[in-house]
Structure 1
Amino acid sequence: MDTSIQIFFQILAESIIVVAEAIRGNYTNQELFASTVIDNGEDGPRSSLVVLLLSMNAEKQTYKLRCAVFYCFLCYLFDNEFGKARIIETLLPNSQPSNAPTTGSLILQAISSAESVQAWFGCVTLMHCLYDVDHLCEQLLRVKINIVTEQPELALLDHVSQLLISAGNRRPQSRAGLLMLLGVWLQNCPLAVSAFMAKEDNLVYLTTHIVDECGEGTESEQQALRGLMAFVLLCCLKNIQDKDTRSSIETLISRRVGKEVVLSALEGLTRTEQFVRAAQKQQPSESNKNNLFLDFNFVKLFKSLEGTLAKQLKPNGEFNGTSNDSIVQSFKELIKRQDGDITQLKQENKKMSGEIEKLTAEAQNKEAEREVEQLRVKLDEAAAFRTQTEVLNSQLAEAQRLTQQWYAEAERYKQWAQQWQNYQLTQLPNAAEVGVTQLQQQVAELEQQLGYGYQAFEQQSQTILHYTAENAQLRERVAKAEASLSEANSKLATVNNQPVSNGAVENVDQKTSDDELAKLKQEQEELLMLLADQHNKMSVYRRRLKSLGQPVTDDEDE
Structure 2
Amino acid sequence: MLTLTTIPTDVLAETINVIGDYIRGNAKNQQYLDFAMSESAVIQHLLYTMVAGEKESFPLRISILYCLQCYLYKNDIGKSMIVQIFSSQAESAANQYTLTHLLIIGYLSKDIVASWCSGIILAHVIADNQQFKEAILEVNFAIDQVQTSAKTLMEISIDLLQNSSSSFHTRIAVLIFICTWLSNCSLAVQTFLSIENTILYLISQICAQSIGDDREILIQSLCSFALGLCLLFNNNQISSYST
Counterpart of 2:221? 227
How far does residue 48 in structure 1 lie from its aligned partner after superposition? 2.6
Counterpart of 2:150? 153
Spell out the pairing of 1:80-91 with structure 2 (5 A cutoff). Answer: 80-91=75-86
- Amino acid paired to 2:158: S
Identity of aligned residues (%): 27
Alignment of 1:27 with 2:27, yes or no, is yes
Change (3 A) 1:12 1:238: same
Alignment of 1:10 with 2:10, yes or no, is yes
How far does residue 33 in structure 1 lie from its aligned partner after superposition? 1.5
Counterpart of 1:53? 47
Q: Deviations over 1:337-363 (max 9, x none)?
A: xxxxxxxxxxxxxxxxxxxxxxxxxxx
Counterpart of 2:131? 135
Change (3 A) 1:147 1:96: closer
CA contact (8 A) 1:34 1:47 kept: no
Higher Cα radius of gyration: 1
Alignment of 1:210 with 2:206, yes or no, is yes
Computed over aligned residues only, the root mean square deviation of the Cα atoms, in angstroms, reads 2.8
Tell me the distance in 2 between the aligned counterparts of 1:13 and 1:59.
Answer: 15
CA contact (8 A) 1:88 1:140 kept: yes
Structure 1 residue matching 2:201: 3-state secondary structure? helix
CA contact (8 A) 2:92 2:142 kept: no
Structure 2 residue matching 1:210: 3-state secondary structure? helix
- Structure number with the bigger relative contact order (C-alpha 8 A, sep ≥ 6) is 2
- Amino acid paired to 1:28: K
TM-score, normalised to structure 1, is 0.39
Counterpart of 2:232? 238
**Structure 1 or 2: more helix by fraction:** 1
CA contact (8 A) 2:92 2:141 kept: no
CA contact (8 A) 2:190 2:235 kept: no
How far does residue 6 in structure 1 lie from its aligned partner after superposition? 11
- Which runs of 5 or more residues in structure 2 are unaligned? none
- Amino acid paired to 1:160: S
Spell out the pairing of 1:162-241 with structure 2 (5 A cutoff). Answer: 162-167=159-164, 171-213=167-209, 219-241=213-235
Tell me the distance in 2 between the aligned counterparts of 1:6 and 1:47.
Answer: 18
Tell me the distance in 1 between the aligned counterparts of 2:18 and 2:88.
Answer: 36
CA contact (8 A) 2:210 2:217 kept: no
Q: How many residue pairs get matched?
A: 235
How far does residue 37 in structure 1 lie from its aligned partner after superposition? 5.2
TM-score, normalised to structure 2, is 0.87
Change (3 A) 1:208 1:92: same
Tell me the distance in 2 between the aligned counterparts of 1:86 and 1:213.
Answer: 43
Counterpart of 2:61? 66
- Amino acid paired to 1:70: L
Structure 2 residue matching 1:232: 3-state secondary structure? helix
- Which runs of 5 or more residues in structure 1 are unaligned? 39-44, 249-558
Tell me the distance in 1 between the aligned counterparts of 2:36 and 2:92.
Answer: 22
CA contact (8 A) 1:237 1:246 kept: no
CA contact (8 A) 1:167 1:175 kept: no
How far does residue 199 in structure 1 lie from its aligned partner after superposition? 1.9
- Amino acid paired to 2:22: A
Tell me the distance in 2 between the aligned counterparts of 1:80 and 1:219.
Answer: 38
Structure 2 residue matching 1:35: 3-state secondary structure? helix
Structure 1 residue matching 2:55: 3-state secondary structure? coil
How far does residue 150 in structure 1 lie from its aligned partner after superposition? 4.1
